[in-house]
Amino acid sequence: MKPSTRRTIIIVAVIVLVLLAIILAVSLSGPDHVIYSEFISALAGGRIDEVYFNGSYRIDFSLVGEDGLKYYTYYRSANMDQIMEAIDAAGKLENPVNVAYDFNDPSSSSMLSSLLVPIIMIVLLAIVFFIIMRKTNGANNKALNFGKTKASQVRDSKVRFSDVAGAEEEKQELQEIVEFLKDPKKFTAIGARIPKGVLLVGPPGTGKTLFAKAVAGEANVPFFSISGSDFVEMFVGVGASRVRDLFDQAKHSMPCIIFIDEIDAVGRQRGAGLGGGNDEREQTLNQLLVQMDGFESNDSIIVMAATNRADILDPALMRPGRFDRQIYVNIPDVKGREEIFKVHSRNKPLAPAVNFKSLARLTSGFTGADIENLLNEAAILAARANRKLITMEDISEAINKVIAGPAKKSRVVTERDKRITAYHESGHAIIAKLSKNCDTVHEVSIIPRGQAAGYTITLPENDDNHFTKQKLLDQIAMMLGGRAAEELVIKDVSAGASNDIQRASKIARKMVTEWGMSDAIGNMYLGASEEVFLGRDYQTQLNYSDEMAAKIDAEIKSIIDTQYRKALSILREHRDIMDRMVKLLYEKETIYEEEIDELFRGDTPDMGGTPNPVPEGGTSGTDESKTSGGASPSEAGVESGDPNTAPEEDSSGASAGKTEDGADDGGKD
């Protein structure tokens, strides 16, 4: 039970007890009621000492020998004569009756006395109801405040531009916003107009929200922060009302900044969706458009927003005068990653041997959020081992853990599965090593991680994202190297290459349909968006004929078959190296770049014996290898047609050349 709920229950219980005590006290302190006939009998018998007429057809009286008025009865106006005669008769007895009258307000006293207790009860119940409603609603959930904005005003933000690394150009763009807020005359004197809106676009984890916090900290002006989903409500008109209330609050705090995180929740293209879209959301968007660049001027209010789906935003939101400055926050390069490592390691004790340059190269494609999570995992590993410093080994293990999952050394692996995995991974590594355009082989392992029974990691020498045709072909050959090794050695194939085939097919299809790398098809764009945006793309049809579709399929098959034959040829020629690599993997389970280089130089020490041959046809249905050569922590996608963007399967970093071979997928991809 929450402390607030417990306090509410205690308060209500105390109030109820007090109420009961008051009622009980009132009932016990008052006189006893007797019927009229008993009063007349007592009066005639001379047993009444005092009679009091209070004006409300009520008689209070006391008996002889008793102090105070302890009894009462009611009478009718017709009985008045009878009462007075009885009083006169009693006066002739030994104990005369003392009579008192109060006829000033015959009704008010009666009404007040009769309503006193109900009034007290109503007041106390009203207090209880008020307390309960206040606890239920809370300060931010009041029943009548649906139309009020949920924006929180950030004060004294501790984040500065120095806390954001790896995006120097983006900092410069936002620094102009800060300078304008501090000294607007610098810009207005030369006739410049500061952008009314700044849209931060980029993959998840690249630091868009962190940039907004840094602007708030640097500008030192009121900063209103709200999520796009906070405008959406079940009641009609609430979203538009909250937009108006947000800007009304901002007008009273000018100059200021309004930050809308995940603006795609409310800024989607109007008319998109089955049935014409969502009227409520569109009303909210319309109100936002009007507030940003409507009839009324809000020159001193700068609107910042963040999204990773700029492609679905309404065009009216993107025009000059609204979000007239768009800043793309990209995945950091090797220099940026080095700076990010320095930022996130400020409060972490690192061993002297930790090299940020090496780590930056090992984490190609990692975002700022990925690196922060990576260092946190390394710190957990160091704490688990009772070390006071984070070592390079901790960080390397954390990289593998983030990419492929934790090592499962306790998993029971059969001799056959282990042998298949070793040859499969050796096939990947040898093709990558001997192909001119493949990345450098960094690590090969047969230790299970996550759903993978083994993995091969290749790392690029630099962050060059210009993927040429030959490089893509070599990558396809490398992906198919595991399947080729299985066919060459065990004379059969396992389900472990399913993800390899899937990734290779995707690259081949993009080469043919999007990148113009097929001689038979030529420089034609024949691709379609894999992500259907209902309402806009729901009825989109293929922009090519059935005959062209057949040509595309033939070209894709030709590319894959050619590279598979190439992989088989390379592995046949270097079968001795593959066998020695398998022996080394059996001894060490994980080998690195230096040991692989020694293998190809022929300097590998004799490990003794020859690996037991894999039984022909001896693959089981659970030997599927799940490859994820393009899998990365950020899962950065490919923008179709962008010549500077890596293909989807290889654009995400340390794992851009990483293949994982799972043994527990049961033949399902």
Rounded to whole angstroms, how far apart are CA atoms 61 and 78? Answer: 20
Q: SS3 for 232?
A: coil
Q: Which two tokens stand for residue 444?
A: 């090969």
Question: Over 248-293, what HEC string results?
Answer: HHHHCCCCEEEEEECHHHCCECCCCCCCCCCHHHHHHHHHHHHHHH
Quote the DSSP letter at residue 604. Answer: P
Half-sphere exposure of 302 (CA within 13 A, CB side): 27
Burial class (CB in 10 A: 0-12, 13-18, 19+), 345: buried
Q: SS3 for 198?
A: strand
Residue for token digits 């690196």? 371
Residue 588's Cα: distance from chain center in Å?
A: 40
Alpha helices in 294-367 (DSSP H): 315-318, 334-344, 356-362
Rounded to whole angstroms, how far apart are CA atoms 24 and 197? Answer: 68
Q: Which two tokens stand for residue 27?
A: 């009932």
Rounded to whole angstroms, how far apart are CA atoms 467 and 472? Answer: 7
Q: Any residues with CB less than 8 A from the CB of 142 and at least 6 apart, and which? A: none
Quick check: 46 and 90 in contact, CB under 8 A?
yes
Choice among 425, 555, 648, 660 that is catalytic: 425
Return the closest-CA partner of residue 76 out of 32, 115, 39. Answer: 39
Burial class (CB in 10 A: 0-12, 13-18, 19+), 86: buried
Bridge partners (DSSP) of residue 48 are 63
Active site residue 595: no
Return the closest-CA partner of residue 475 out of 503, 510, 497. Answer: 503
Active site residues: 425
